[in-house]
Amino acid sequence: MSPRDASDAKFLLRNAVETLPTGGLEAKLDEGRPLRVKLGIDPTAADIHLGHTVVLRKLREFQDRGHVVVLIIGDYTARVGDPSGRSAARPQLEPAEIDANAATFQAQAFTVLDRDRTEVRRNGEWLDMPMEGLFGLARTSTVAQLLERDDFAKRYTEGRPITILELLYPLLQGYDSVAVRADVELGGTDQKFNLLLGRELQQAYGLAPQVVMTMPILPGIDGTQRMSKSTGNYVAVTDAPEEAFGKLMRVPDAAMPTYYELLLDEPFDPARPAVESKRAMARALCARLSGEEAAVAAERRFDRLHVERAEPDEIEATDLPAGDVVHLPTVIAAAFGVSSSEARRLLGQGGVRLSGRTLAGDELDLPAEVLDGEVLQVGKRRFRRLQRAADSS
């Protein structure tokens, strides 16, 4: 291996939890050719969050060193649902929803990846296979082997159902590596079984097995559970900068070293005041997502709301419905994109303020003239100025 290859290997291995087999990446790099580095994503949700960018940033590091990323949009595997870490089968998504999520996810991925060195494929290209092909794939593994997966083993021991379709999922994901002739595959630590099975399938089909690289899973802004849209503890790459800044300032101090290591590539200074480190992190990540100017404005808005306890300088207006009396849950739902039941829950919990006054849970219907021109606030960062529509005055 040349000195340059050796330094590349050391850099690319940084932050990885495991790389299997040991020395495998160094051997691949020593071949002196661009490697095909695979990541498979099932488009079960539309948005990419900062947790996704941990793996995407590693892929970009491979691209910057001349390698080709193969981004597989799992339009077929999404129809099955990845059983990793699940105690029950995932709900089935409609094809139209999968296609819409795939388009959005792909566009957002290019905020991190180099489009020119990314090969985008959909695994429906090869998984929409004749039955003969599926039979051949099914012969490569045994039920006992698939039940070695921790999640399957736990469900089997507890007597919880495991569908045949779920058992097929690791085979289908592994076959992606066969179809695109992957040299390296990345994934979270929860994907280790699937990634290793991809190696075995490549060998079964007469191909050189891929190197498996698992990456750490970023904790959410709660600092405990993995970042996930389903748990609401995420920062989306498309979040407005003021929303992202506010979310990042909620990250617990204990999670800060992990955020610095995985998202900023900077050492965390434990001697620095935690609030300074958190502000620096929030500024840097907002600047990466939305630009320096937007990050500065987001921090100023945060200070105005949370330090000065003042309303933001600019507040979006919301028209009140026609009539002399307004049903407040309906206004909250329309203004902030929540359901009417969620609006009533927020009122009951004291989470809604009107020009600084906390509304009581039974204040459901108020005169329009009282609401006209007032500022409605939900939580700490969401504001709307209420106004009568021009045709209702």
Q: Long-range contacts: 344-353, Cβ < 8 Å, 24+?
A: 346/378, 351/378, 351/379, 352/328, 352/376, 352/377, 352/378, 353/377
Q: State the CATH number of the domain containing residue 335.
A: 3.10.290.10
Where in the sequence is the domain holding 246, given as residue range(s)?
241-306
Residue 232 lies in a domain: no
329 compared with 213, residue with greater pLDDT: 213
104 compared with 119, residue with greater pLDDT: 119
Q: Do 15 and 116 belong together in one domain?
A: yes
Per DSSP, the three-state class of 193 is: helix
Token code pair at residue 216: 């750490």
Among the three residues 215, 249, 270, which one is the final residue of a domain in this structure?
Answer: 215
Residue 13 lies in a domain: yes
Q: Distance between CA atoms of 376 and 79, rounded to whole angstroms?
A: 41
Task: Report pLDDT digits (tens) over 299-339.
Answer: 988 887 776 555 566 678 888 888 888 888 888 888 888 88
Residue 224 lies in a domain: no
Q: Do 188 and 257 belong together in one domain?
A: no
What's at 220, amino acid-wise?
G
Q: Are strands 375-378 and 382-388 parallel, antiparallel or unpaired?
A: antiparallel
Q: Distance between CA atoms of 192 and 28, rounded to whole angstroms?
A: 20
Among the three residues 262, 279, 306, which one is the final residue of a domain in this structure?
Answer: 306
Q: Do 61 and 101 belong together in one domain?
A: yes
Q: How many domains does the chain have?
A: 3
The predicted structure's pLDDT at residue 2: 44
Q: Of the ranges 93-97, 110-114, 351-355, which is most confident?
A: 110-114
Q: Do 163 and 287 belong together in one domain?
A: no
Q: Of the ranges 146-160, 230-244, 373-387, which is most confident?
A: 230-244
Residue 32 lies in a domain: yes
Task: Report pLDDT digits (tens) over 15-56.
Answer: 899 999 999 999 999 999 999 999 998 887 777 899 999 999
Q: Do 123 and 255 belong together in one domain?
A: no
Q: Distance between CA atoms of 7 and 225, rounded to whole angstroms?
A: 34
Give the Cα-Cα-Cα angle 51, 52, 58 (nearest 5 degrees): 105
Q: Do 195 and 288 belong together in one domain?
A: no
Among the three residues 306, 339, 360, which one is the final residue of a domain in this structure?
Answer: 306
Q: Do 332 and 297 belong together in one domain?
A: no
Token code pair at residue 61: 């590091």
Q: Do 158 and 294 belong together in one domain?
A: no
The predicted structure's pLDDT at residue 310: 55
Distance (Å) of CA 331 to CA 20, 236, 315, 390, 392: 55, 26, 16, 17, 15
The predicted structure's pLDDT at residue 25: 96
User: Residue 183 gets which letter from DSSP?
Assistant: S
pLDDT range class, residue 86, cuts 50, 70, 90: very low
Average pLDDT, the chain: 87
288 compared with 80, residue with greater pLDDT: 288
Residue 229 lies in a domain: no
pLDDT range class, residue 256, cuts 50, 70, 90: very high
pLDDT range class, residue 392, cuts 50, 70, 90: very low
Residue 75 lies in a domain: yes
Q: Do 248 and 289 belong together in one domain?
A: yes
203 compared with 104, residue with greater pLDDT: 203
Q: Do 195 and 248 belong together in one domain?
A: no
Which position has the token pair 């329009």? 368
Residue 334 lies in a domain: yes
Q: Do 61 and 14 belong together in one domain?
A: yes
pLDDT above 70 as % of the chain: 92
pLDDT above 90 as % of the chain: 49
The predicted structure's pLDDT at residue 88: 47
The predicted structure's pLDDT at residue 313: 61
Q: Do 283 and 373 belong together in one domain?
A: no
Residue 311 lies in a domain: no
Is it the case that residue 167 has pLDDT exceeding 50?
yes
